[in-house]
Structure 1
């Protein structure tokens, strides 16, 4: 009797501090039939059944959060997509550069992985982080900081979720 091989399924690994990235991750998960969504601490021991792998995280200063950096070396020979949220203008050249560099570092932390796609969108500022920034600026975040916070308060919004889901569906939809 011939053995049947089980098709690989998408794995979505989410690090979310305020819920922004988790909301986006659920939208992407819904767009990829059979996808499994986990937090880094719940990553399965056996990663063989999963490909592609999507890493979702928030901008932690100038990097991905520690828990995402800690699990990235576990991936080998995977096609990886990265998505992130940040409390600022995700379309700025600086933000796009951060996303490209961070995704590359995460993918290269493992062996033989390929970066297939990235997606970055605004997310609400973490109130605790915004408070620390305000304190560092002598109690006044400045007009620019306050404008960034207000502009980010409604994100990720429906359009962000649709754009992220459609992007990864178009890349991984029926090709995994």
Structure 2
């Protein structure tokens, strides 16, 4: 089985998760930024990574995702919002739509640092916009996001994608022994 990790990263968060996933996959494997990624047809399992931009998959990864069909895939991403929020669920739903012609084996989202230029824009140019202004709640969420991906996030991504690769190869974890 040959695996491919494709990602796009604006602040380094998604790259960090992508590298962790790549390290967890068995050989043979390759990793590429979305803009340089090869045709997906020569791969059995793809890990497709994005950063959330305006509530959806960033454009570079979205364009690549649209070229992938008939593959076993795992999707991963980073965002400034909490990964268990409605916003995060909506972002994953949009990602699923982009790869709907594939077998999605699993998904992973974690928080990540938001581009400092965007934070500055929220504090200045968007200060009167009720959806994007810098509220105390938003500031606290962005401060928390800046601590991610942390070691737990990376360990979770590593464990999930290691298992997804096993599933893609037709192997699953051994059953637990019977307690008799």
TM range (shorter): 0.7 to 0.9
Q: Say whether the 8 Å CA contact 1:86–1:121 is kept in structure 2.
A: yes
| 1:40 match | 34
The match for 1:60 among 49, 53, 58 is 53
Query: Which consecutive unaligned segments of at least 5 residues does structure 2 have?
Result: 170-180
Q: Secondary structure of 1:128's partner?
A: helix
- The alignment status of 1:169 with 2:162, answered yes or no, reads yes
Answer yes or no: is 1:137 the counterpart of 2:127.
Answer: yes
Match of 1:116 among 93, 98, 105: 105
CA-CA distance at 1:141 after TM superposition? 1.1
What runs of 5+ residues in structure 1 fail to find an aligned partner?
1-7
When normalised by structure 1's length, the TM-score is 0.86
Within 5 Å, which residues of 2 pair with 1:2-21?
Answer: 8-21=1-14
Report the alpha carbon displacement of residue 73 of structure 1 after superposing the two structures with TM.
2.3
Larger RCO: 1 or 2 (CA < 8 Å, sep 6+): 1
Equivalent residue, structure 2, for 1:30: 23
- For residues 14-51 of structure 1, give each alpha carbon's deviation from its aligned partner in whole angstroms, at most 9, with x where no partner exists: 01000000000101110002221101121124x33212
The size of the alignment, in residue pairs, is 164
Pair 94,73 (structure 1): closer, same or farther in 2 beyond 3 Å: closer
Q: Residues 54 and 83 of structure 1 are in contact (CA less than 8 Å); yes or no, is this contact kept in structure 2?
A: yes
Tell me which residue corresponds to 1:103: 95
| 1:93 matched to 2:86 | yes
**Residue matched to 1:5:** none
Residues 76 and 113, structure 1, Cα contact 8 Å, conserved in 2 = yes
Aligned mates of 1:141, 1:172 — CA distance in 2: 41
Structure 1 runs (4+) deviating above 3 angstroms are none
Give the TM-score normalised by structure 2.
Answer: 0.84
Return the alpha-carbon distance in structure 1 between the equivalents of residues 8 and 108 of structure 2: 15
